[in-house]
């Protein structure tokens, strides 16, 4: 007899489970417990003692030993009390006429009657009953702490399993199977299975200990069953029950891995719950629970479990948004902050007014004035953090950083602020969780508009403490690409937040006074501090210069006379104009001056930072100029900070090899790598600790800005030759990477070869440098060598790093990704990178690979489209690539591109004559897929499909129209557009649900109410 464990069971479910158990009992024993004489007598029993007397009467007829007599009596007393109490506890909630406890009493009585004449089995019978009793006694706690509905379902199921065991035992005794009763009977499959089920249920109950913890387990159990159903492909009913699952089955790409690990996850939940419960017992120093203690422990455990669940949710949200970590910048800023500086700022009225009054504070200074070591941005964060720790405020902060590519864009800022603001606020976490749910539990990435809307919702929550948003170095946010540029988007965001007039919002932004930044901020009502105009800034500069020239750590300065030291302090403080960076550079030059040359050096000081940098460039020795230029080029375009050994390796590359391919020359390497770099570039670079490595970086943002500015092209003499044009810079680093990769094949074993320090960077990032503008055309020869299938270089590169990674479930073509990819040809990788000329070369060399399967994108054409390399995709189509291939669920490329609003890909596929009315195995057309989108900007793809003849009233196999899907998802603009093109508002699915009914059935969706109101008004018209 087997029963389904209820997860959210109603009274009717309990009754059905119990009724089935009684029928099964009757089938096995030929006895009806409802009409048995013992049942009638038990109905009249109103206390444990009266029940006990009745059962002991059945015991009296047994011919048993003294020991079995004592054991049986010992069993009856506590068991009757527990079952009677549980009957009372469950009776009201379950509402059964004939309770499970009464049935067990009757079953025990019938079993005892059956055993009267069977002496050989009586001792074993007691063993069976004692084994049952150990399960029931674990439920004793619920006689003092009433279980919730879910726990009641578990207890009922346990009692039904007990009844099952009694039925089997009664049946076996009735058939005379008594010899070696326990050994044989328990060993039988039926009763052993029943005991295993009972043991499993009681173990689960014992580990969970509270209804709240049990709820977690049930939730995981439900998800396991749901995943299994989707893997088996038999749950097409889900398309009708829950429309949002319809197209989201692209997540099946990752389901296989999830199913393999789901047992481990369930075990982790159970073990975690057991740990929490045990910790609660230890916390209250409890070894045995009474009713009052149980309530205390249960309440604490429920609180702890809720916190565990919320922490897990926050981890899921963080993985979804993948924000950069600004704390790394903050820790560095705190470490280098010069103590005693910026006190004038924190004691001033502007800062304290901003801190107490919601407003925008803009802190700005000319290039070099905003040195993080002095102006105290990190101290602002530390000051506000004190309020946050006291529960008086919340904060989100961010450092834009020219050295870190992950901290230079709008899309880096917003996820970081969202995760910080939601980390300590349950209401804000709930908002972010709702957006996460709206995007299929993270299967799809949010749009920029969605992220902005989420942030605004968080900031406008009622009854909040002050909220502080602090953004450093806005001028280091990229301003060179895109319309609008990343910096334009940040400026627009700040303006929108200020215009919200949130009564508790404080915003602080620091930057240089760039024209675009100044134009926006000066139109806003704000407080501002101009650092280079502050007398306190001059005092900080003077204090810093004094600390350096009087330092015992400067051996040459120690030889200066006092009057020379004071002259340096006075001269630099007067001429700095608030620029700490200028001070750094002048001190760097002065620290090498012997006393007689100090005055002359002071007279010849450059006036500006530009003049300072120009002088430094001119002083680079002629033999070092080529190396210096390459080092500076690499630092400007490096994807991540380069380690000393990696950058020094570039100096060992011969860029003038007669074969036209850069070649690594190991004998060119410097023994002292740091010295090689510092000799080449002097004070323009610095070497700092980063984790376990030493990395090279520009000594200040203004250095990189100057090297890439048009001002340097107008500089005199040799200095202008150091102007960094991005395309030649990317070419230099790409050539160096290829040179290294073409020499690593002899000793690659899956790890970076120790004698090729640049190999790992090269393997991961050479393609990014080569994809910049038309750099690839300059490296064609080297790439042909690397991709030659007859040479070992290609496999060596893939061994070091395979750029073909499994697409996340929200990727446009994830429905084409296999669970385990097979090796792909070089043509596939060339298409994935979008190397047009190389693809043409490989098509000629290996035409059979055009439609060869392999890789996570299956075909070269899909790889090219996934990377939005449309010229490459067109070249493949012209050479026989099949644009009509199908993935899982028989989805076409157009289905996938429509689902993820990939406008350019949809346009191209329509140009390739893709079937706009193609149906997958569930009858979904591309228009159905597009109708799942929830952002207003997604309407562009929808309109494109409709304009090209998509059937607005196409039906799936469950009779759903695109309007059904749109109504369930919560985007009013999509609903309006479909109706504009003639969607039938009266259409019904296979369960007779109209689009209005579908919208009403989705209570958790954002935008649900406005869709319902709109549909009602539209229908009324």
Residue with tokens 């393997």: 763
Listed range (33-47, 244-258, 436-450, 739-753) with the worst mean pLDDT = 244-258
Distance set, CA 381 to CA 298, 470, 768 (Å): 39, 8, 35
Residue 744's pLDDT band, with cuts at 50, 70 and 90, is confident
Measure the CA–CA gap between 467 and 394, rounded to whole angstroms: 5
Measure the CA–CA gap between 429 and 449, rounded to whole angstroms: 19
- Tell which wins on pLDDT, 329 or 508: 508
Q: What is the pLDDT of residues 251-310, one digit of tens each?
A: 443 444 444 444 444 455 545 555 555 655 555 555 555 555 555 555 655 666 666 776
Average pLDDT, integer, range 635-642: 92
**Which residues, in sequence order, are CB contacts of 141 under 8 Å at separation 6+?**
209, 289, 294
The pLDDT value given to residue 4: 40
Average pLDDT, integer, range 243-251: 41
The answer to whether residues 932 and 969 touch, using CB atoms and an 8 Å cutoff, is yes
Q: Bridge partners of 360? A: 507
- Tell which wins on pLDDT, 94 or 748: 748
Average pLDDT, integer, range 751-773: 86
**Range list of H helices, 879-952:** 893-899, 903-911, 926-930, 939-947
Measure the CA–CA gap between 708 and 681, rounded to whole angstroms: 16
Cα-based angle 267, 268, 272 (whole degrees, multiple of 5): 115
The top-scoring range by mean pLDDT among 333-342, 468-477, 580-589 is 468-477
Residue with tokens 């996460």: 436
Average pLDDT, integer, range 909-935: 90
The top-scoring range by mean pLDDT among 78-87, 678-687, 814-823 is 678-687
Residue 187's pLDDT band, with cuts at 50, 70 and 90, is very low
**Which residues, in sequence order, are CB contacts of 361 under 8 Å at separation 6+?**
350, 351, 354, 506, 507, 508, 509, 526, 527, 528, 529
Distance set, CA 981 to CA 174, 822, 945, 952 (Å): 74, 44, 11, 7
Identify which of 216, 224, 98, 82 has the alpha carbon closest to the alpha carbon of residue 150.
216
Listed range (136-150, 361-375, 645-659, 824-838) with the worst mean pLDDT = 136-150
Return the structure tokens found at 987. 């259409």
The pLDDT value given to residue 470: 96
Residue 24's pLDDT band, with cuts at 50, 70 and 90, is confident
The pLDDT value given to residue 887: 86
In what side-by-side order are the strands of the sheet with 642-643? 642-643, 693-698, 685-690
Identify which of 128, 110, 115, 129 has the alpha carbon closest to the alpha carbon of residue 26.
110
Measure the CA–CA gap between 488 and 480, rounded to whole angstroms: 10
Angle at which helices 780-787 and 793-800 pack, to 10 degrees? 90
The pLDDT value given to residue 521: 92
Q: What is the pLDDT of residues 823-839, one digit of tens each?
A: 999 999 999 999 999 99
The pLDDT value given to residue 287: 54
Q: What is the pLDDT of residues 145-176, one digit of tens each?
A: 555 665 666 666 776 777 677 777 777 666 65
DSSP-assigned letter for residue 994: -
Asked if the model's pLDDT at residue 514 lies above 60, the reply is yes
The pLDDT value given to residue 522: 87
DSSP SS3 for 205:
helix
The answer to whether residues 860 and 831 touch, using CB atoms and an 8 Å cutoff, is yes
Backbone angles phi, psi at 530, to 5 degrees: -95, 105
Listed range (98-102, 116-120, 560-564) with the worst mean pLDDT = 116-120
The pLDDT value given to residue 609: 86
Query: pLDDT over 70 for what percent of the chain?
Result: 69
Asked if the model's pLDDT at residue 234 lies above 60, the reply is no
Residue 810's pLDDT band, with cuts at 50, 70 and 90, is low
Strands 693-698 and 685-690: antiparallel
Angle at which helices 377-389 and 327-336 pack, to 10 degrees? 120
The pLDDT value given to residue 444: 77
Residue 980's pLDDT band, with cuts at 50, 70 and 90, is very high
Return the structure tokens found at 157. 């199921």
Average pLDDT, integer, range 866-889: 91
Average pLDDT, integer, range 866-874: 92
Residue 962's pLDDT band, with cuts at 50, 70 and 90, is very high
CB atoms within 10 A of CB 284: 12
The answer to whether residues 1005 and 996 touch, using CB atoms and an 8 Å cutoff, is no
Residue 750's pLDDT band, with cuts at 50, 70 and 90, is very low
* Helical (H) or strand (E) element with 80: helix 66-94
* Helical (H) or strand (E) element with 711: helix 710-713
The pLDDT value given to residue 69: 57
Q: What average pLDDT does the chain have?
A: 78
The pLDDT value given to residue 691: 72
The pLDDT value given to residue 362: 94
Listed range (145-149, 361-365, 774-778, 861-865) with the worst mean pLDDT = 145-149
The pLDDT value given to residue 256: 43
Asked if the model's pLDDT at residue 122 lies above 70, the reply is no
Average pLDDT, integer, range 421-428: 90
Residue 412's pLDDT band, with cuts at 50, 70 and 90, is very high
The pLDDT value given to residue 210: 44
The pLDDT value given to residue 869: 93
Average pLDDT, integer, range 40-48: 71
Listed range (231-245, 797-811, 984-998) with the worst mean pLDDT = 231-245
Listed range (44-58, 475-489, 958-972) with the worst mean pLDDT = 44-58
**Range list of H helices, 357-397:** 377-389
Q: How far is CA 7 from the centre of its chain?
A: 28
The pLDDT value given to residue 178: 42
Asked if the model's pLDDT at residue 188 lies above 60, the reply is no
DSSP SS3 for 511:
strand
The top-scoring range by mean pLDDT among 24-38, 81-95, 124-138, 438-452 is 438-452
The pLDDT value given to residue 1020: 61
The pLDDT value given to residue 543: 87
Measure the CA–CA gap between 420 and 430, rounded to whole angstroms: 14
Measure the CA–CA gap between 13 and 723, rounded to whole angstroms: 78
Residue 62's pLDDT band, with cuts at 50, 70 and 90, is low
Average pLDDT, integer, range 312-327: 88
The answer to whether residues 1 and 164 touch, using CB atoms and an 8 Å cutoff, is yes
**Which residues, in sequence order, are CB contacts of 324 under 8 Å at separation 6+?**
404, 406, 407, 412, 415, 416
**pTM as predicted:** 0.60
The pLDDT value given to residue 968: 85
């Amino acid at each position: 007899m087997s029963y389904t464990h209820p997860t959210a069971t109603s009274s009717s479910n309990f009754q059905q489970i119990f009724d089935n158990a009684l029928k099964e009992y009757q089938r096995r024993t030929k006895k009806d417990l409802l009409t048995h004489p013992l049942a009638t007598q038990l109905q009249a029993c109103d206390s444990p003692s009266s029940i006990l007397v009745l059962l002991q009467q059945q015991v009296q007829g047994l011919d048993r030993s003294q020991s079995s007599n004592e054991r049986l009596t010992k069993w009856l007393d506590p068991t009757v009390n527990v079952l009677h109490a549980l009957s009372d506890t469950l009776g009201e909630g379950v509402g059964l006429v004939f309770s499970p406890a009464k049935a067990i009493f009757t079953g025990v009585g019938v079993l005892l009657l059956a055993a009267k004449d069977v002496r050989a089995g009586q001792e074993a019978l007691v063993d069976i009953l004692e084994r049952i009793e150990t399960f029931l006694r674990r439920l004793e706690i619920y006689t003092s702490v009433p279980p919730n509905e879910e726990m009641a379902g578990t207890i009922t199921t346990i009692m039904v399993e007990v009844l099952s065991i009694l039925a089997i035992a009664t049946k076996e005794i009735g058939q005379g199977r008594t010899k070696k009763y326990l050994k044989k009977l328990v060993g039988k499959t039926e009763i052993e299975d029943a005991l295993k089920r009972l043991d499993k249920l009681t173990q689960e109950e014992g580990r969970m200990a509270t209804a709240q913890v049990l709820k977690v387990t049930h939730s995981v159990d439900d998800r396991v069953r749901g995943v299994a159903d989707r893997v088996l492909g038999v749950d097409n009913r889900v398309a009708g029950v829950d429309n949002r699952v319809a197209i989201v089955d692209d997540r099946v790409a990752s389901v296989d891995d999830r199913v393999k690990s789901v047992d481990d996850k369930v075990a982790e939940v159970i073990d975690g719950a057991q740990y929490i419960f045990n910790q609660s017992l230890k916390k209250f120093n409890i070894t045995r629970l009474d009713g009052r203690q149980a309530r205390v422990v249960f309440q604490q455990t429920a609180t702890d479990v809720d916190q565990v669940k919320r922490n897990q949710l926050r981890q899921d949200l963080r993985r979804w948004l993948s924000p950069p970590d600004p704390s790394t910048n903050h820790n560095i800023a705190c470490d280098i902050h010069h103590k005693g500086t910026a006190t004038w700022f924190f004691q001033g009225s502007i800062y304290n007014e901003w801190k107490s009054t919601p407003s925008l504070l803009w802190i700005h200074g000319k290039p070099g004035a905003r040195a993080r070591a002095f102006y105290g941005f990190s101290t602002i964060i530390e000051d506000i953090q004190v309020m946050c720790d006291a529960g008086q405020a919340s904060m989100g902060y961010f450092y834009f950083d020219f050295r870190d590519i992950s901290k230079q864009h709008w899309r880096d800022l917003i996820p970081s602020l969202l995760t910080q603001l939601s980390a300590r606020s349950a209401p804000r976490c709930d908002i972010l969780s709702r957006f996460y749910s709206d995007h299929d539990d993270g299967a799809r990435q949010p749009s920029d508009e969605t992220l902005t809307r989420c942030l605004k919702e968080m900031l406008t929550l009622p009854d909040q403490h002050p909220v502080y948003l602090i953004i450093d170095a806005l001028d280091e946010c990229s301003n060179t690409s895109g319309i609008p540029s990343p910096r334009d988007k940040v400026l627009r965001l700040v303006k929108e937040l200020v215009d919200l007039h949130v009564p508790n919002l404080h915003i602080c932004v620091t930057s240089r006074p760039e024209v675009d930044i100044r134009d926006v901020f000066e139109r806003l009502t704000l407080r501002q501090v101009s650092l280079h105009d502050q007398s306190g800034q001059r005092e900080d500069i003077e204090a810093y210069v004094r600390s350096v020239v009087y330092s015992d750590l400067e051996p040459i300065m120690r030889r200066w006379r006092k009057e020379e030291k004071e002259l340096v302090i006075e001269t630099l403080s007067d001429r700095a104009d608030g620029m700490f960076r200028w001070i750094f550079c002048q001190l760097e030059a002065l620290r090498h001056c012997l006393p007689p040359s100090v005055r002359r050096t002071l007279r010849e000081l450059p006036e500006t930072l530009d003049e300072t940098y120009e002088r430094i460039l001119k002083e680079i020795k002629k033999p070092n100029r080529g190396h210096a230029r390459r080092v500076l080029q690499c630092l400007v375009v490096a994807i991540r900070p380069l380690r000393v050994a990696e950058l020094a390796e570039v100096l060992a590359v011969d860029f003038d090899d007669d074969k036209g391919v850069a070649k690594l020359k190991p004998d060119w390497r410097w023994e002292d790598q740091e010295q090689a770099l510092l000799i080449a570039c002097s004070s323009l670079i610095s070497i700092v600790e980063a984790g376990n490595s030493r990395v090279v970086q520009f000594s200040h943002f203004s250095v990189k800005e100057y090297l890439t500015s048009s001002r340097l092209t107008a500089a005199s003499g040799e200095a202008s030759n150091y102007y960094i044009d991005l395309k030649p810079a990317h070419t230099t680093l790409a050539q160096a990477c290829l040179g290294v990769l073409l020499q690593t094949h002899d000793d690659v074993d899956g790890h970076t070869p120790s004698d090729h320090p640049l190999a790992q960077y090269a393997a991961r990032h050479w393609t990014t440098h080569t994809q910049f503008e038309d750099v690839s055309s300059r490296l064609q020869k080297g790439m042909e060598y690397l991709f030659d299938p007859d040479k070992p270089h290609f496999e060596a590169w893939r061994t070091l790093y395979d750029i073909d990674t499994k697409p996340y479930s929200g990727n446009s073509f994830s429905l084409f990704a296999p669970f385990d990819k097979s090796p792909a040809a070089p043509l596939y990788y060339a298409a994935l990178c979008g190397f047009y000329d190389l693809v043409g070369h490989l098509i000629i060399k290996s035409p059979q690979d055009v439609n060869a399967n392999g890789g996570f994108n299956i075909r070269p054409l899909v790889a090219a489209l996934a990377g939005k390399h449309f010229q490459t995709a067109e070249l493949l189509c012209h050479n026989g690539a099949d644009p009509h291939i199908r993935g899982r669920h028989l989805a076409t490329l157009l289905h996938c591109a429509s689902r993820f609003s990939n406008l350019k890909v949809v346009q191209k596929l329509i140009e390739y004559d893709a079937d706009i009315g193609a149906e997958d195995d569930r009858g979904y057309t591309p228009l159905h897929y597009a109708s799942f989108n929830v952002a207003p900007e997604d309407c562009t793809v929808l309109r494109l499909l409709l304009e090209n003849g998509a059937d607005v009233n196409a039906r799936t196999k469950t009779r759903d129209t695109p309007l059904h899907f749109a109504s369930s998802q919560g985007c009013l603009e999509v609903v309006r557009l479909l109706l504009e093109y003639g969607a039938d508002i009266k259409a019904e699915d296979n369960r007779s649900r109209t689009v209005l009914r579908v919208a009403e059935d989705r209570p958790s969706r954002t935008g649900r109410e406005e869709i319902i109101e709109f549909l009602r008004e539209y229908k009324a018209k």
